[in-house]
């Protein structure tokens, strides 16, 4: 063991980086569940002593204790929002809103496409993307069948809209939760800095998709009338639950908005909301629907990245970026934005963001908070919007494509790439213009 510890101490950066890279490869290939990979990597990182297994060393606190690298603000915010959304969904309230929106389209296919995209984006700004697409998919299949239209254009639009909409807020996409926690950015910071450009990107993408899919949007007046007269009277399955959920969800969002006044952390606001809703439920029934795989994936991942941070590897990455860009804020921002977009299109954006966040913190130690402020928004826009590039770029993409194939409408990797690359390039070009005008000129 002494030889092993001596070896690890001598080559800690290389060993920590190797564990992270191997974990990335296995996560990307999806041969083994990513939560398993993260936990194996985390356990190995602790076992090799890259992070401390004990809280104290002698009589002093151990700064490299593995728990110190697990961001429990992120963990509690994710769990709490999952609880709130799971409870609210049971009332049927989100399906009711979607149906009302569709009735307003009068069944016109182009309007339906636009409405589904808009609803998905807005919902994804407040719920996680996976929950949003799971909510909207059953409605989409029914509508496509009633209109006699292939559901694939609707589903692809919903995938893109969910990833774009999730970029707009602190709670819309896990990468934003990681960024917000690392940088100390509030819910209103995300609303102020990202929501306007996300709205522009969404509008541009929906217009382009409407043009691309216009030839598939053909139906009869009789079928359009069916959608216009959609019966939405029985969609709410539990009215008291809907009222409770709406009030709590509304108050939680108000709590996020008022963070700059109250200084109550977002995770605490969400925890209080989840706790109130659980008073009326059997916790066992609700907690079994929490995505524990995601939660433990985060925990394992934080430990692996903690190993690279404790060894000094993250600081070396930050130094390398500053050397490559010669310290230019504009060059650094564009490198992070575009690299994040393309890398997140190929690998999961959660481990990528979790690796990049401490690196930007290291850059901040050298260059200051004003220099790094635009870099956080570049990371968020690149990581979240890049997920649209490929069918494996985000969890929502995989879930929708699998459901579509199950229904007899497969979405191939290459056909998705054609639309995804177009969408991502539009998104990143508009983001580049925004970042430059807003922060860098």
What are the structure tokens assigned to 4, written together?
């092993």
Please report where in the chains the tokens 């996020």 appear, as a residue. Answer: 256
pLDDT mean across residues, the chain: 90
Burial category of 32 from C-beta neighbours within 10 Å (exposed 0-12, middle 13-18, buried 19 and up)? exposed
What's the maximum distance between 2 C-alpha atoms anywhere in the chain? 79
Please name which of 255, 227, 260, 217 lies closest in space to residue 105, comparing C-alpha atoms.
227
Residue 30 has pLDDT above 80, yes or no: no
Q: How many CA atoms lie within 13 A of 219 on its CB side?
A: 24
| Higher per-residue confidence, 210 vs 105 | 210
pLDDT, tens digit (0-9, with 9 covering 90-100), for 231-259 = 888 889 999 999 999 999 999 999 988 98
Q: Domain residue spans in the chain?
A: 2-69+93-235+291-440
- Mean pLDDT, rounded, for 372-399: 91
- Mean pLDDT, rounded, for 221-227: 83
Percentages of the chain per state (helix, strand, coil), in multiples of 5: 75, 0, 20
pLDDT band at residue 129 using 50, 70 and 90 as cut-offs: confident
Structural contact between residues 209 and 117, judged by C-beta atoms closer than 8 angstroms: yes
Phi, psi for 49 (deg, rounded to 5)? 80, 15
Structural contact between residues 349 and 388, judged by C-beta atoms closer than 8 angstroms: no
- What pLDDT shows up at residue 15? 93
pLDDT band at residue 1 using 50, 70 and 90 as cut-offs: low
- What pLDDT shows up at residue 194? 96
- Reduce the DSSP state of residue 30 to 3 states and report it: coil
* 52 beta partners: 65
End-to-end CA distance of the chain: 55
């Amino acid at each position: 063991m002494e030889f092993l510890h001596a070896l690890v101490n001598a080559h800690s950066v290389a060993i920590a980086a190797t564990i992270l890279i191997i974990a990335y490869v296995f996560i990307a290939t999806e041969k083994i569940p990513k939560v398993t990979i993260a936990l194996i990597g985390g356990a190995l990182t602790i076992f090799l002593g890259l992070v401390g297994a004990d809280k104290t060393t002698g009589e002093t606190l151990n700064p490299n204790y593995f728990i110190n690298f697990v961001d429990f603000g992120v963990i509690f915010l994710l769990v709490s929002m999952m609880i709130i959304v799971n409870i609210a969904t049971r009332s049927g309230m989100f399906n009711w809103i979607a149906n009302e929106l569709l009735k307003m389209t009068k069944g016109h296919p182009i309007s339906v496409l636009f409405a589904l995209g808009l609803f998905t984006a807005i919902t994804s700004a407040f719920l996680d993307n996976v929950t949003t697409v799971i909510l909207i998919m059953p409605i989409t299949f029914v509508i496509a069948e009633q209109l006699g239209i292939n559901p694939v254009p609707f589903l692809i639009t919903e995938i893109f809209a969910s990833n774009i909409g999730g970029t707009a807020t602190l709670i819309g996409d896990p990468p934003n939760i990681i960024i917000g926690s690392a940088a100390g950015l509030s819910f209103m910071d995300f609303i102020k800095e990202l929501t306007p450009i996300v709205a522009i990107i969404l509008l541009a993408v929906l217009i382009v998709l409407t043009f691309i899919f216009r030839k598939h949007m053909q139906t009869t007046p009789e079928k359009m009338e069916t959608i216009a007269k959609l019966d939405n009277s029985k969609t709410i399955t539990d009215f008291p639950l809907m009222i409770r959920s709406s009030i709590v969800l509304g108050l939680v969002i108000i709590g996020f908005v008022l963070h700059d006044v109250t200084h109550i952390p977002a995770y605490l606001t969400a925890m209080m909301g989840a706790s109130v809703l659980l008073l009326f439920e059997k916790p066992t029934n609700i907690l079994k629907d929490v995505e524990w795989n995601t939660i433990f994936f985060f925990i394992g991942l934080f430990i692996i990245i903690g190993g690279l941070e404790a060894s000094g590897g993250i600081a070396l990455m930050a130094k390398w970026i500053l050397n490559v860009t010669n310290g230019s804020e504009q060059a650094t921002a564009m490198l992070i934005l575009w690299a994040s977009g393309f890398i997140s299109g190929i690998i999961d954006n959660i481990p990528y963001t979790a690796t990049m966040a401490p690196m930007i913190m290291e850059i901040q130690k050298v260059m200051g908070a004003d220099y790094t402020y635009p870099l956080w928004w570049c990371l968020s826009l690149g990581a979240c919007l890049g997920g649209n590039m490929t069918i494996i770029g985000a969890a929502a993409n995989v879930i929708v494509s699998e459901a579509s194939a199950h229904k007899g409408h497969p979405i191939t990797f290459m056909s998705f790439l054609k639309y995804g690359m177009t969408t991502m390039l539009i998104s990143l070009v508009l983001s580049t213009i925004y970042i430059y005008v807003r922060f860098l000129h």
